[in-house]
Amino acid sequence: MMFKNAVRMLTVGAALAVPVAMVPAAQAQISVGISVGFAPPALPVYAQPPLPSPGYIWTPGYWGYGDAGYYWVPGVWVQPPSAGLLWTPGYWGFEGGYYGWHRGYWGPHIGYYGGINYGFGYVGVGFEGGYWNHGSFFYNHAYSNFGGVHVTNVYEHNVVINNTVVNRASFNGPGGYQAHATAQEMAAANEHHVEPTGMQQQHFQAAAQDRSQLASVNHGRPATMAAASPAAYHQVAQQHMQSQPISAQDRTAGKSYNPNNREANQDQRISNGLRSGQMTSGEAARADRTQSNIDQQVHNDRAANGGTLTGQEKQQINGEQNKASQQIYNEKHNGNTITPNQVDNREANQQARTAQGLRSGQMTSGEAARTNANQAGVAQGVHNERTANGGALTGQQKQQANRAENRNSRQINNEKHNNEKMPKAK
């Protein structure tokens, strides 16, 4: 997808590089400043720095989007605008074929943030990190790192989801979190909200200008994942900006960066072919086997090279994907068509889930290799039985195919939620 089609502005005046509230604060929770045609990377695993002093509130890190693509805004302790206010994090939500950014805000209650488990008290609904009581903030020790700071107002309460985030997805939508706003979150949406503080906005801006925070540079592992305060990170970001500023080449590369995008596109094309009837199960089986082999090769090469591919390996993989792309095109345009039924649609759904897992970073190439190999086996079995029965499946064969797809569905779910994520480099 070309960049001009991948990003669109939905709110006049919203800045690409700084996803902060640029609209009236009361509407901040529902405003979408920008939208992107592909998902943000998975959330990195990081440790929370110690609390700088009592009165600070933790705000989680997230992937922003600017003129050089996705970049990581470090999690940070910040002082709220006034006592009694809590931070509702921003989130990416998938709608209408795009991932839209919903800005964070301060308010008396926590609102909807896509059900995303950002960790450290932001478990997907509400905030377990602490609460206000008569102008003082009480910290939940289970979600707060005090370091050597003496904190008087402390309690401890753990919930089912703790600081170890199992699902690393950083967005709401297919392949990510599926949560909908609760009644309490809907009520919070109608409250008066306050925009991010000046220190927060400087923090956002510093991250957008820090080359080491770009996903296309760090491949999902930002140089600075969290900071004790906006001022502490600002010093680091300034050093990075002076030593290695973001170049025009970085901006070009970042706009279309997605390490597993080519693999995901091929899986999506197979899904589309099955759903439209342009590809039979036999043709999908051949395409799946090809993709499984390529995925496995990418995985093996990365494993051998510490998570990266050499230039020669990239060229080789690209050549093989070009051949696979031509194969898919030929299979879809060879005149062999079918009328899709429930079995074909189920196969298509599984392919689409694998594609989404690759795009979101929840599935590695090795995991995609396994799911594609399994899908090839199911599709080939369906093809063989249809051939033996004059193009149809018996009721028993449909049940058998459905059971096989159920197993594959569980496998895909396990691969996407096993805490393995997209490797370091393409």
DSSP output for 126-180: S--SEEEETTEEEEEGGG---TT---SSEE----SS-SS-S----EESTTSB---
pLDDT recorded at residue 108: 97
Instruction: At 357, list the tokens.
Output: 């897992």
pLDDT recorded at residue 205: 96
- Axis crossing angle, helix 365-388 with helix 342-360, rounded to the nearest 10: 170
Instruction: At 426, list the tokens.
Output: 């393409």
Residue labelled with tokens 């799911």: 371
pLDDT recorded at residue 425: 36
Whole-angstrom Cα distance, residue 401 to residue 371?
Answer: 15
pLDDT recorded at residue 200: 97
pLDDT recorded at residue 135: 95
Whole-angstrom Cα distance, residue 161 to residue 115?
Answer: 12
Which of 222, 199, 176, 181 has the alpha carbon at shortest distance from 64? Answer: 222
Q: What angle do CA 123, 126, 127 make, to 5 degrees?
A: 70
Contacts of 303 (CB under 8 A, 6+ apart): 366
Contact, 49 vs 227, CB < 8 A?
yes
Which of 34, 339, 62 has the alpha carbon at shortest distance from 200? Answer: 62
Q: From the first residue on, what is the mean pLDDT of each consecutive set of 10 residues in the chain (426 residues)? A: 37 34 36 76 91 97 95 98 98 88 96 96 96 96 95 87 55 84 94 96 97 90 95 96 95 77 82 89 91 89 70 80 86 85 85 81 82 89 88 86 82 69 41
